Amino acid sequence: MPQSPYPAPFRLALEYMIVDLNHLQLLPLADRLLQVVARQDRAQTVQRGNILWLSGPHRNTIRLQNKSWSQKFAPASDSFQREISYINKVLEPMGGMLLPTSMHPWITHDPEASNWSPCCPEAQLSLLCTDQQELQRLFQAARIVLPLLPALSASSPLSEGKPTGHKCSRLLSPKPHKASNGIPADIAAAPAQKQLPSPLTLAANQQQLTLHIGLLDVQESPLADICIASLICYLLQALQSGQWETLEHICAFPAETLESILAKSIIHGEEALIDQRTYLEFFGHRGASCSAQELLGAIMDELVPPTSNFYEPAGFIIGEGSLATRILRSSGPETSRINIHNTYQDLGQCLAQGTLFHG
């Protein structure tokens, strides 16, 4: 990545499903996991090093996040991976393991069912700002980047045992999701973190101003999640600095057009066609149209030097397609239950070993 400063110190939160080792069915073991590791009957969190563990809302997911703000991505990737390895060791005697991606591929998503329990893990990138002016600049840059996030991170193409037709199905699940409330037109319209879900939320107190970026699906390993987070941060830095267009020009771009591009990205992922010339010009692209994959490739070529730790994984993610695309490729055209099971078993191994999924 460029050696220019990061746009802001970051935190990353990653949520993983807890499933049984053999059949990959969801297991409500999060509370027990925390209690065993903390050695306390009512433990609600665990902190090991800089990584904080929290139980998900339905006890079948565990949320990991770096507790301290950081500006270095590679150590964060290593820290997350160490915790995942440790958690899997603790879960193994219980018959469990961690499973990545942002939607279980075959559970029924029926909010009317008595035993319905939504399981749509997500990733969230939070950025710390020093003052209101920096927050304003970062917010405007983030608005422009949001439509590209599903193209980079989609990992939820299957639901109830079959393809949904959307690469990022998590954003269409029955529970309230961040896309439903639209992209805020300006910083005054961005909700506080504790209000309704939104692609961009704000948190402010006497000590800090924070921008939370949603719409990110969970990847197959922290290596991929951190790679995507780093690319987002450097892209935000380029937009803030006016590398391609002035920030004033970016601020005037209508939210409705951004939401139109986002809708395509949710459905088609990296294959989404972007034909808004003005939007493409924000990233230095002078053609009339291109796919999200082509645009991301051009952005990577400009922003990511070959010496970066994330050059190869970024090239793989953009070149091979989103994790959703690779999942569909691995599951095959018939997407039989056995193929889906084998695919997600492989994804579990990628998470355990810290590798990328080829599909």
Question: Does the pLDDT at position 318 exceed 80?
Answer: yes
Q: Do the domain assignments include residue 203?
A: yes
- Please name the helix (run of DSSP H) or strand (run of DSSP E) that holds residue 40, with its range, or none: none
Give the range among 122-131, 196-205, 222-231 with minimum mean pLDDT: 196-205
Q: Do the domain assignments include residue 2?
A: no
Q: Do the domain assignments include residue 210?
A: yes
Vertex 235 angle, CA 232 and 237, to 5°? 110
pLDDT of residue 220: 99
Query: Residue 150 belongs to a domain with what CATH number?
Result: 3.30.590.20
Question: Does the pLDDT at position 197 exceed 70?
Answer: no
Angstrom distance (rounded) from CA 358 to CA 317: 9
pLDDT of residue 38: 93
Q: Do the domain assignments include residue 132?
A: yes
Give the range among 60-69, 90-99, 204-213 with minimum mean pLDDT: 204-213
Question: Does the pLDDT at position 200 exceed 70?
Answer: no
Token output for 140? 């405007």
Q: Do the domain assignments include residue 334?
A: yes
Q: Do the domain assignments include residue 220?
A: yes
pLDDT in tens, 173-187: 654 444 545 677 666
**Residues 309-335: what's their mean pLDDT?**
95
307 CB neighbour count, 10 Å cutoff: 8
Angstrom distance (rounded) from CA 357 to CA 359: 6
pLDDT of residue 205: 53
Question: Does the pLDDT at position 29 exceed 70?
Answer: yes
Distance, CA of 60 to chain centre: 19
pLDDT of residue 234: 87
Domain count, the chain: 1
**Mean confidence (pLDDT) of the chain:** 88
Q: Do the domain assignments include residue 359?
A: no
Give the range among 24-33, 137-146, 148-157, 190-199 with minimum mean pLDDT: 190-199
Yes or no: say if 326 and 347 are a contact pair by the CB < 8 Å rule: no
Q: What residue numbers bound the domain in which 295 lies?
A: 10-178+190-353
Distance, first Cα to last Cα, the chain: 27
Token output for 113? 């069912």
Q: Could you tell me the pLDDT band of residue 209, with boundaries at 50, 70 and 90?
A: confident
By three-state DSSP, how is residue 62 classified?
strand
Yes or no: say if 268 and 341 are a contact pair by the CB < 8 Å rule: no
pLDDT of residue 123: 96
Yes or no: say if 47 and 60 are a contact pair by the CB < 8 Å rule: no
pLDDT in tens, 325-355: 999 999 998 889 999 999 999 999 999 999 9
**Residues 194-201: what's their mean pLDDT?**
50
Q: Do the domain assignments include residue 55?
A: yes
Report which of 275, 317, 276 is spatially closest to residue 296, judged by C-alpha positions.
Answer: 317
